[in-house]
Structure 1
């Protein structure tokens, strides 16, 4: 078995999981522990913060979207050369879709599969002894998991802590630390989740302050001793590369591609050739495929619209080789992009789509897609699972069977119609690809 682990979870979103996770990671790293990170669920921003805190890549672990073989491969990568794995949860500990046991996408599935005990973060603002009742419910709800102890967040005063602690003693739940109310430690936010790690100028200083807080507020020795479980080494299989040399857009506008995708491509011997559209660079002509990841192109739409070398070079590339864009990349492959100020900028024009951030509406959730035609993502009929999280609106008519990338449903099988576009060798969609579905 590999190194032991912990799942940092909470009863609900906004409890302070990321703050506790980063503080714990950085403090243990500073003590010389080979700590490695993981993220339960499809969130793509937190793993970059984990990497900054630990100095090593962080992998997503998703019990709904990932077949067992891929899930185990990602857990194995997260555990490689680790002394301790810290997996941050998403939403609430037991929150997921309605599905069979172990396939709901909930944090609890990951804790149960790898035997990783749960470190439960409780936001106790506005509560005292009642926080213990919440902890007891979280611990008792799923008999597959074990809650090792609690970390309190937003403790108002020593008296407040004593009241909460009295409730925890009543249920026999260990208290492993308590963070005071500290607004200055909150990471910056923007319209779509957290500001990404690469955009946080003072990130290293913030992480060091969090580590100082962890040293003062957490029982680090007890937390480390509470870890358990592990992953069998060598288990599982990672995604296959779409070509042996892949041009990947990489800069402030194109910053997100699931780490397990890149890990799989590298493991198969593929060469990743980065290029920067914001620097007006075109994909290298010797590559066999081009991938435009997600990001925040709406923040750089003017520069992208003026990047003639990039746009012409990508058009030339697409005449003979496949190109795929997901989310932000999909928007840039379209005809135009309207920014939040209502200014419309020309994009590459390889797909018949125009998008807008001036007309914002949240699109969020898993997507199960069946490809309508063969291409970079697989053969016609292949079944893929991805995740969509954006506020952009499409201004052009919805695609039909003749030009859509796929027919999609949500995680529970509810039809959502057609999604994405395809035109000759070019494809794109708003969903971020996670995996090929089992039996797909």
Structure 2
């Protein structure tokens, strides 16, 4: 079994993504085969992992995924030399009530897979006190082993000496200390990092991260700290039942939020994925059994989408006889209208009555469990689906029939139920896995 590590942090914004990308590229440059993973429901970071490592990165989510699915996905690393998983938020941050297998925390994945944790600690504004944070994390859960820390945003050699002395006093290993460098930060948008495909200089940025890590971190010690997963499946590839045999998938700058494990699972099960670009005014393939519009940033391209007549005509022709499904941004694009952040209304496909607005922004964030009230893209009435919602749009009108009964991770019922009309369905949550 392949040895692995979890790269995590006490909180968001500590620089763990920079560390993760630098490690992936540095080890790859050394001739190692790396298998990256991302803990939790993040659809942006895996593309950065792929750019750094040269291999697809998959999400591991204990709230949404069964134990079998987690280990089947983890087995994608069976032919790698080293597994690196990036945590989300703080190491122990999860929901209050368990889901399919756990509470969704990065620590839950590290514990289940037997991966030690390298904790990235932002030491700006403190010195020896950072050791108290590290010690607390090391003792919080005896089943989650903290292999050591990387000190980030170190202000000076004196600052580094003081922070290291604190770690030594409590027996916490320091793998390295990264000086403060504002130029290494990736730009962000309201849903997280700017997407990997939007960075013209991404490869050179990642190469800079790798060089930065080489100069300041003990890479051989980090590799030696990795241990093998506890119970990984023998054969990679989760057999995720595809919603149709031939799937026309919207893929461009407006529709890009698709979980890698979903597409890999569909392909492994024999489905054919046929990409098309609504922004290029392409219609879905006429032979498709299903059209799937994933989430993304339709609000940034609403004018072009409104003018995409071939896309609208082809979509309507398909919807007359076969299913169309949209997730989040894809759902908005299926509606009557989308109002952008400037207050301008744009005509969308009009296959649903949904009208959404970004002029009245309110965050919608969290896990979702849906029980279908109508069929949806190959799933029957009564099917349970687990997913995650993250958007800033406000519903102004949603006149169609509710698609599902939707509750949050705490069991509270939500008004944002998705909707359907004829063969067309849409949800605000991004599907991660069906109940298993």
What TM-score, normalized by structure 1, do the two folds share? 0.96
Query: Once the 2 structures are TM-superposed, how far is the Cα of residue 377 of structure 1 from its aligned partner?
Result: 4.9
Structure 2 partner of 1:156: 155
Structure 2 partner of 1:395: 396
Gaps of 5+ in 2: none
Residue by residue over 1:361-403, the C-alpha shift from the partner in whole angstroms, topping out at 9 and shown as x without a partner, is 1110001111111231511111111000111111114x6xx70
Structure 1 residues 319 and 389: alpha-carbon distance in aligned structure 2, compared to 1, 3 A threshold: same
What SS does structure 2 have at the residue aligned with 1:277?
Answer: coil
Query: Once the 2 structures are TM-superposed, how far is the Cα of residue 98 of structure 1 from its aligned partner?
Result: 1.7
Distance, in Å, in 1 between the alignment partners of 2:224 and 2:161 is 24
What SS does structure 1 have at the residue aligned with 2:35?
Answer: strand
Query: Once the 2 structures are TM-superposed, how far is the Cα of residue 82 of structure 1 from its aligned partner?
Result: 1.0
Considering only aligned residues, what root-mean-square deviation do their CA atoms show, in Å? 1.3
The answer (yes or no) to whether the contact 1:238–1:261 under 8 Å persists in 2 is no
Structure 1 partner of 2:106: 107
What SS does structure 2 have at the residue aligned with 1:281?
Answer: coil
Matched, 1:424 2:422: yes
Gaps of 5+ in 1: none
Distance, in Å, in 2 between the alignment partners of 1:238 and 1:37 is 20
Structure 1 residues 310 and 100: alpha-carbon distance in aligned structure 2, compared to 1, 3 A threshold: closer
Structure 2 partner of 1:271: 272
The answer (yes or no) to whether the contact 1:68–1:236 under 8 Å persists in 2 is no
The answer (yes or no) to whether the contact 2:237–2:268 under 8 Å persists in 1 is no
Alignment of 1:79-90 (within 5 A): 79-90=77-88
Query: Once the 2 structures are TM-superposed, how far is the Cα of residue 100 of structure 1 from its aligned partner?
Result: 4.7
Distance, in Å, in 1 between the alignment partners of 2:261 and 2:62 is 14
Structure 2 partner of 1:209: 208
Distance, in Å, in 2 between the alignment partners of 1:159 and 1:141 is 30
Distance, in Å, in 1 between the alignment partners of 2:307 and 2:118 is 49
The number of residues matched between the two structures is: 433
Structure 1 partner of 2:332: 331
Structure 1 partner of 2:96: 98
Query: Once the 2 structures are TM-superposed, how far is the Cα of residue 229 of structure 1 from its aligned partner?
Result: 2.1
Q: Mean Cα displacement is larger for which, 134-143 or 231-240?
A: 231-240
Structure 1 partner of 2:359: 358
Q: Mean Cα displacement is larger for which, 236-245 or 11-20?
A: 236-245
Structure 1 partner of 2:285: 284
Query: Once the 2 structures are TM-superposed, how far is the Cα of residue 200 of structure 1 from its aligned partner?
Result: 1.2
Query: Once the 2 structures are TM-superposed, how far is the Cα of residue 235 of structure 1 from its aligned partner?
Result: 6.9
Distance, in Å, in 1 between the alignment partners of 2:200 and 2:209 is 16
The answer (yes or no) to whether the contact 1:37–1:87 under 8 Å persists in 2 is yes
The answer (yes or no) to whether the contact 1:420–1:429 under 8 Å persists in 2 is yes
What SS does structure 2 have at the residue aligned with 1:122?
Answer: strand
Alignment of 1:15-414 (within 5 A): 15-77=14-76, 79-100=77-98, 103-230=102-229, 231-234=232-235, 237-397=238-398, 403-414=401-412
Query: Once the 2 structures are TM-superposed, how far is the Cα of residue 214 of structure 1 from its aligned partner?
Result: 0.8
What SS does structure 2 have at the residue aligned with 1:395?
Answer: strand
Residue by residue over 1:20-63, the C-alpha shift from the partner in whole angstroms, topping out at 9 and shown as x without a partner, is 10111111111111012100000111111001100111000001
Distance, in Å, in 2 between the alignment partners of 1:192 and 1:324 is 22
What SS does structure 2 have at the residue aligned with 1:324?
Answer: strand
Residue by residue over 1:234-268, the C-alpha shift from the partner in whole angstroms, topping out at 9 and shown as x without a partner, is 27843211111100001111111111110110001
Query: Once the 2 structures are TM-superposed, how far is the Cα of residue 148 of structure 1 from its aligned partner?
Result: 0.6
Structure 1 residues 250 and 154: alpha-carbon distance in aligned structure 2, compared to 1, 3 A threshold: same
Distance, in Å, in 2 between the alignment partners of 1:39 and 1:228 is 18
